[in-house]
Amino acid sequence: MKGYLNFILIFSLFVLLSCSKEDKQQNQKSVKQETKEEEIENPGDTSMTPEEKFSSSIMIDFLDSSDDDDLDAYLQDELFKYSKDYRGASVIQLTNSTWFVSLQNNTVTKNFILQKFVDFNSNDYYFVLKETPLTISDIIVSASLYHNSAMLRNRESQNSQNPPSNK
């Protein structure tokens, strides 16, 4: 009986050790594969054109890794052209099809509304960039007012559905 218990203990230890070894090997393989995939997906900046770097920066850093390929192409092909007249750009997403764009050169800042449309005939997307007198402050205040009014409507809706009990 003792020999049988010892055999079970030794066998259990062997299984545990081999499993942890396999897990480590699997984790190492997984890490190596993820690294290779990242290298394929995100080749170094040296292989990107200035236009691609620009649109990539906007899409990743400003628009939280948006996956809108049409917008990405517009940034590369059209908005980047402004780089000859302006030092920098900022893009804020207002809706799924509308962005607030600021172009800045030293003390001069011009603001634009960028809208995405779909063509009725071809179902292709196109963009319209129009200068606006709105400023970033206007956008922030409007967003804050909208957010606060939505919260107020939510509270009122909840209160009307669950009137306070008079106890």
| CA gap 64, 161 in Å, rounded | 36
| CA gap 115, 101 in Å, rounded | 10
Per-residue confidence in pLDDT tens, the chain, 167 aa: 555 555 565 655 555 555 555 555 565 555 555 554 555 555 555 699 999 999 999 999 999 988 999 999 999 999 999 999 999 999 999 999 999 999 999 889 999 999 999 999 999 999 999 999 999 899 888 877 877 777 777 777 777 777 666 65
Cα separations in angstroms, 109 against 29, 50, 86, 100: 50, 22, 9, 13
- What angle, 0 to 180 degrees and rounded to 10, lies between the N-to-C axes of helices 69-77 and 50-57? 130
| 129 contacts: CB under 8 Å, gap ≥ 6 | 78, 79, 101, 112, 113, 114
> What domains sit in the chain, N to C, each tagged with a CATH number?
48-143 (3.30.310)
